Structure 1
């Protein structure tokens, strides 16, 4: 329960580092290097939490609105810019291209410099990219439209990590499923509005480019909102600020200076100390938990499949049902209705009952049904999109609610989320290119082969969800069952010290090496395909 006053200071969690001393008998607790992260026994005032929730989930509204107007405009972009399906794939995946690498660097920057600075930089890039892309519509320039999307990509994905860090900090790993569900619900509402209004914005005047200029105006309004959040966050007491690596590094130097003044020689075991430097310390990769590497590597291309279908659904409906572009846009937009209501409920289910990984398999089964209905039957597309909206409500939420449990340190969460997003964005580029090429080589430019590819990928994910659940539940030493437990049970187990140190939360050089090899290969393939079809 939130405190009723803003003056009650929470008790910080201390992550103590081994320190060896020479000479004097030092007070180890006072001199130990510590990572001051989230309050554990205390809590923030409810008013603060609600403000952070509102501002946090609003950070990416502009980029989300701008990106999701593209799907219903596919036929317009092809005709106005004189491009084919593969080249349209370069437009839809352009924001993901730079985010094959950038989220890792950006995530480290968020951890070191702070979410506030990071979110401002991201918002500026999103706005500039939206303006450049919109300017391309005035010139009917494919290069400008793609270039603007690339610039937008420098902020669009990292700003999502800002939201995740903000929610994880202000809610202290309590009710994360619910607040992440609320974030997902609002995000789907923005997608719904974007898809439903894309064609009307195009047809409002004789100039089709308003469908790109209006989202650019929304990105500017989003920038102003972000400025308000930064002012609000910095105006909180210092103990309530999100911890940063810069702060920890400054504290370490102050301790060293104090020890030097006292003539106390302290030798720190650097093998056990987290390094917090302005430039990325790649040894941080060696602290990433092995279970995270297992999940992120096995989920390669899965996010791209869902994103690819979301972007193509309007055109698929047009091709398979003969619908008008506007009607197809409205129908595909229905896919985002149910998540607005269901996502917070599903997140709350994770908090109260657990079973996060079970929903991975359940969601995959629903997606297979949706792809089959839309691609291989003539059933009403509206009904298929309603079913798809249920899958959308559950799609990313199990992973968003689980990653902070795998990586229970606020100062390293942005870095790990960056790796997750780098995998997802690299996979999205590959899927967009593959889907466009599969459609181009299919007689009549139909979607049979594209749908078959999507179904095959989701069949694989169905098996993976069961595998994750078995590792978590059956092999207790691997992850301790934390992904299956309810929030109440998990916190009780951790407080009682029964969880100990599960193997899945420990780093592994072999897992890290394998994960980096997969990511490097994926990035190379993504860039090669993008360059191949954008020139």
Structure 2
């Protein structure tokens, strides 16, 4: 199958009428494509869904193997908390810029090459991480995490793009919710199993080698998916080729026409996404230090944070499709994050407090990501979705890089304790509440409240954001882009300042 004719090569638009103002006379052809999209057999959709969900199992397992091993990694490699922050931020650092280009790549070329490169880098990177445990090499672990980061950042965009292709207008939020649930299941099992693997084998490196094996399996599944799509190519290529011919080259000027509401999502992704990610990196040791527990219990307790999204995310996707209210859901996610930080950081820890605090964090983690991911295709036109997702993910990784390093610095200054760290997280979560409230009021007046509409209502009102709606630059976008670049530079400066 040729790269440009992959079935996942473009994100379709729900009831799309035209590609842009230059193609308005092609309304009939576009409408035929939409009808065809909706008539695709569910057996093909199910095959695509299962394969896509399997793509990142190894990646998400690997993402949290070091979380539960923080204490032993610092001991074995002889590093400080800030150096451990460098190891974790190596993943997010490369993804401060790569998701942008990954999104552009999907806009122009589709997902075939991107998925192969992503899963290959994930596998090779985690093999390096496993080797670093055997060699006790801090440098090799950073290199391995960097390679892994390059692949892991792109694979999320690839997954979302493929799911949007198959399920746009037919339960995209449910599909995205299922994607997040499977990812969280892999992360939950990672937190739950790495310490037992370490204790049963006597060497923590075996947990890392098991993670690398899962990443290789994900690569094999990716290859299987491509061959399955090649088998379907003869049936669907005529329609796919029609859409591919309608593609346009990416222009950076597109950034200047992005709506203000999109940048609110970028800010929320920065505040929420980086808080979720960086806190998961330290929660196990937080419980161990504050409650003086064993590694095994701390890892078990922290794994609960990944448990609820496994079951809640798909149902939340159905809720969003049926009832809307995305902005209210983000407010709830922010509130539960704040409650969690209060319980885990400022209340005397008991088993009940630990469980309740972790459950609140898990609720926040269940609600937020589904809304953030599934909202972008609603507020952005077809041709901009890949790039918008890339910028959105990049903002999360900029925040994660800064937060991971800053948390390590604060912990070192606090003598290895978590008082300063938790005050930082609490302040961040309170700010996010206000930002999510801002989104609520903005969304009410933006395009007749399309963001919070039910899926059926959007269809009935033909409420679609089209490319021709974004034909004038917005002056405020220069300011937003400048802030984005400033934070990007800050993340890189912090990383290289503390890696030595």
TM-score, normalization by structure 1: 0.84
CA contact (8 A) 1:98 1:150 kept: yes
Q: CA deviation at 1:531?
A: 0.8
Q: 2:99 aligns with which of 94, 103, 112?
A: 103
| Pairing 1:440–2:412 present | yes
The CA distance in 1 between the partners of 2:466 and 2:162, in whole Å, is 26
Give the SS at the match of 2:307: helix
| Pairing 1:346–2:342 present | no
CA contact (8 A) 1:40 1:172 kept: no
Question: Cα–Cα, structure 1 residues 70 and 37, in superposed 2: closer, same or farther, change >3 Å?
Answer: farther
The CA distance in 1 between the partners of 2:14 and 2:359, in whole Å, is 46
Within 5 Å, which residues of 2 pair with 1:281-292? 281-292=251-262
Which consecutive residues of structure 1, in runs of 5 or more, have no partner in the other structure?
Answer: 1-9, 21-27, 253-273
Q: CA deviation at 1:505?
A: 6.5
Question: Cα–Cα, structure 1 residues 91 and 408, in superposed 2: closer, same or farther, change >3 Å?
Answer: same
Question: Cα–Cα, structure 1 residues 18 and 345, in superposed 2: closer, same or farther, change >3 Å?
Answer: closer
Q: 1:93 aligns with which of 89, 95, 98?
A: 89
The CA distance in 2 between the partners of 1:107 and 1:241, in whole Å, is 23
The CA distance in 2 between the partners of 1:308 and 1:220, in whole Å, is 26
The CA distance in 1 between the partners of 2:485 and 2:364, in whole Å, is 30
Residue aligning to 2:365: 392
Question: Cα–Cα, structure 1 residues 139 and 421, in superposed 2: closer, same or farther, change >3 Å?
Answer: same
Within 5 Å, which residues of 2 pair with 1:364-443? 364-377=334-347, 378-380=349-351, 381-409=354-382, 411-442=383-414
Residue aligning to 1:308: 278
Question: Cα–Cα, structure 1 residues 518 and 207, in superposed 2: closer, same or farther, change >3 Å?
Answer: same
Residue aligning to 1:175: 171
Question: Cα–Cα, structure 1 residues 29 and 354, in superposed 2: closer, same or farther, change >3 Å?
Answer: closer
Q: CA deviation at 1:214?
A: 0.9
CA contact (8 A) 1:181 1:344 kept: yes
Residue aligning to 1:486: 454
Q: 1:527 aligns with which of 481, 492, 496?
A: 492
The CA distance in 1 between the partners of 2:41 and 2:277, in whole Å, is 37
Question: Cα–Cα, structure 1 residues 200 and 191, in superposed 2: closer, same or farther, change >3 Å?
Answer: same
The CA distance in 2 between the partners of 1:466 and 1:30, in whole Å, is 40
| Pairing 1:217–2:189 present | no
The CA distance in 2 between the partners of 1:331 and 1:38, in whole Å, is 47
The CA distance in 1 between the partners of 2:296 and 2:425, in whole Å, is 25
The CA distance in 2 between the partners of 1:450 and 1:317, in whole Å, is 13
The CA distance in 2 between the partners of 1:524 and 1:369, in whole Å, is 32
The CA distance in 2 between the partners of 1:504 and 1:467, in whole Å, is 23
Question: Cα–Cα, structure 1 residues 192 and 500, in superposed 2: closer, same or farther, change >3 Å?
Answer: closer
Instruction: Give deviations 1:45-90, integer Å, cap 9, x for gaps.
Output: 1111111111122211111111111111000110000000000001
Give aligned pairs, total: 485
Question: Cα–Cα, structure 1 residues 171 and 18, in superposed 2: closer, same or farther, change >3 Å?
Answer: closer
Question: Cα–Cα, structure 1 residues 38 and 61, in superposed 2: closer, same or farther, change >3 Å?
Answer: farther
The CA distance in 2 between the partners of 1:100 and 1:167, in whole Å, is 23
Q: CA deviation at 1:17?
A: 4.8
Within 5 Å, which residues of 2 pair with 1:110-129? 110-129=106-125
Q: CA deviation at 1:287?
A: 4.4
Question: Cα–Cα, structure 1 residues 18 and 448, in superposed 2: closer, same or farther, change >3 Å?
Answer: closer
Residue aligning to 2:4: none
Give the SS at the match of 2:18: strand
Within 5 Å, which residues of 2 pair with 1:495-506? none
Residue aligning to 1:256: none
Larger radius of gyration: 1
Instruction: Give deviations 1:367-416, integer Å, cap 9, x for gaps.
Output: 1111111111223212322232222111211111211101231x432211
CA contact (8 A) 2:261 2:442 kept: no
CA contact (8 A) 2:117 2:151 kept: yes
Within 5 Å, which residues of 2 pair with 1:9-88? 13-15=16-18, 17=20, 29=25, 42-88=38-84
Question: Cα–Cα, structure 1 residues 80 and 69, in superposed 2: closer, same or farther, change >3 Å?
Answer: same
CA contact (8 A) 1:359 1:465 kept: no
Residue aligning to 2:436: 465
Question: Cα–Cα, structure 1 residues 242 and 130, in superposed 2: closer, same or farther, change >3 Å?
Answer: farther
Instruction: Give deviations 1:442-493, integer Å, cap 9, x for gaps.
Output: 1x321111111111111111111121111112x2xx2321121111111111
Work out which structure has the larger RCO, using CA pairs closer than 8 Å and 6 or more positions apart in sequence. 2
CA contact (8 A) 1:38 1:172 kept: no
The CA distance in 1 between the partners of 2:58 and 2:262, in whole Å, is 30
CA contact (8 A) 1:202 1:208 kept: yes
The CA distance in 1 between the partners of 2:261 and 2:495, in whole Å, is 31
The CA distance in 2 between the partners of 1:241 and 1:369, in whole Å, is 51
Q: CA deviation at 1:134?
A: 1.1
Give the SS at the match of 1:174: coil
Bigger helix fraction:
2
CA contact (8 A) 2:58 2:211 kept: yes
The CA distance in 1 between the partners of 2:202 and 2:20, in whole Å, is 65
The CA distance in 1 between the partners of 2:15 and 2:346, in whole Å, is 56
Q: CA deviation at 1:106?
A: 1.2
CA contact (8 A) 1:17 1:33 kept: no
Instruction: Give deviations 1:475-530, integer Å, cap 9, x for gaps.
Output: 2xx23211211111111111xx7x78799977643243223212211111111111
Question: Cα–Cα, structure 1 residues 243 and 115, in superposed 2: closer, same or farther, change >3 Å?
Answer: farther
The CA distance in 2 between the partners of 1:37 and 1:518, in whole Å, is 40
CA contact (8 A) 1:404 1:413 kept: yes
